[in-house]
Homo-oligomer: A and B are copies of this chain.
């Protein structure tokens, strides 16, 4: 039996996406056969235009429509704080809390020697430049890299770099501990250790 080329092409495109295996790719492609052509064309257009209509903000390196991005140009934001995150999606998660009104800096990764990603492969240099030269008003750098080995290494590297640069800013890191709604019983030792060390007076 010969599967139409148009279908195998689409299945292959879906299979290249992270977390989508051959079975899911097949299911999605066959599902789309029942969808109106207009919806398919919209989908195709948004893929085609994704990179054409976005760029990285030259200041914070977040994905943006214009340069500088809407956060970097927003005069209502607290210009004394920079939060350093690994990925653009992390800024969305932080924004959802409505608890942070400062600026961002997106590294686009974390230091990972196993995958050959050193400090020069991510936007660390640009962060230093920002603190030292461009944004003289910065008072606090909040390092919000992921709480894993790569994120920890990146956080420590950045903290040392800022201290050595002679710029006087407060450096902090997101609190670590038990997430809301979790069960103490199932928390791993590392998380509990962090929670004990990071305990707060009531």
Contacts and interface: CB of A to CB of B under 8 A. Distances in A.
Interface of A: 1-7, 9-10, 12-13, 16-19, 24, 26-33, 35, 37, 39-54, 63-65, 69-71, 87-89, 91-92, 95
Nearest to A12: B46
Q: Which of A18, A19, A47, A95 is most buried by chain B, counting CB atoms within 10 A of its CB?
A: A47
Contacts of A33: 50-51, 54, 63, 88
A184 to B, nearest CB: 26
B40 A50 contact: yes
B1 A95 contact: yes
B46 A45 contact: no
A8 B186 CA distance: 36
B40 A6 contact: no
Given A1-B95, A10-B46, A30-B88, 17 more contacts: A3-B92, A4-B54, A4-B64, A5-B53, A5-B65, A6-B53, A6-B54, A10-B50, A12-B46, A13-B39, A16-B43, A17-B32, A27-B89, A30-B63, A33-B50, A33-B63, A41-B48
Nearest to A11: B46
B54 A87 contact: no
Contacts of A27: 18-19, 89
Contacts of A53: 4-6
B91 A6 contact: no
Contacts of A40: 47-48, 50-51
